[in-house]
Chains A and B, each alone.
Chain A
């Protein structure tokens, strides 16, 4: 039983396209996150949602738009993809903003 799942696992697309990555958690957590891990392995927070409300929105281009239809899902939509968007994107969830985070397996996005 996967606690935090992401789809797709791999995504290869061309510049200028629009794509979405989905995340689901079955842990009953209230808080979900998106992280970006670049080629140098830096892991940076992008967004955080608590009870479907946007809490953290780090300096991320507005081409990235998170959407939380319910507490168990946090999807990431990216418009007009650029080469620099190539990275591994991790979803995570936690019981609340003060609890440890559980990570999904990651989505490797390659923009050509």
Chain B
């Protein structure tokens, strides 16, 4: 199976919260990332979390990490139409190299 798995689509209404989920397989991952890809653009690093943390909050974004279940989630509060994009989860192994392994990405569609 894939090393990093995400559901492919998520549809929410403007103003609601969005939760994008990700599971990974490498328990030795030291960094876990969320990237955003807007249409026609490259990937933009949104946030990342160290594996020794459970939660990280940055304005409207909340990242939750459950190491036992190897589950990572990204919650976007008060989702806006401008949040419509593809969100990639990625994990990075230890060893001094931050070459991440990416999931397929979740397309977030925000309805007005």
Residues of A bordering B, CB below 8 Å: 4, 33, 40-45, 48, 56, 90, 92, 94, 97-106
When the two chains form their complex, are residues B41 and A105 in contact, meaning their CB atoms are under 8 A apart? yes
Given contacts A40-B104, A105-B40, A45 and B99 within 8 Å (CB-CB)? yes
Question: What 15 new A-B contacts, CB under 8 Å, besides A103-B42, A105-B40, A106-B40?
Answer: A33-B99, A41-B104, A41-B105, A42-B104, A44-B102, A45-B99, A90-B42, A90-B43, A92-B43, A97-B96, A97-B97, A100-B48, A100-B98, A101-B45, A103-B35
Q: Is B86 an interface residue (CB 8 A)?
A: yes
When the two chains form their complex, are residues B42 and A43 in contact, meaning their CB atoms are under 8 A apart? no
* Chain B residues positioned under 8 Å from A106 (CB to CB): 40-42
* Chain B residues positioned under 8 Å from A97 (CB to CB): 96-98
Interface string of B90-112 (1 = CB under 8 A from A): 00000011111010110000000
Q: Is B88 an interface residue (CB 8 A)?
A: yes
Q: Is B44 an interface residue (CB 8 A)?
A: yes
Closest CB in chain A relative to B24 CB, distance in Å: 14
* Chain A residues positioned under 8 Å from B96 (CB to CB): 97-98
Q: Which residue of A lies closest to B31 (CB)?
A: A100
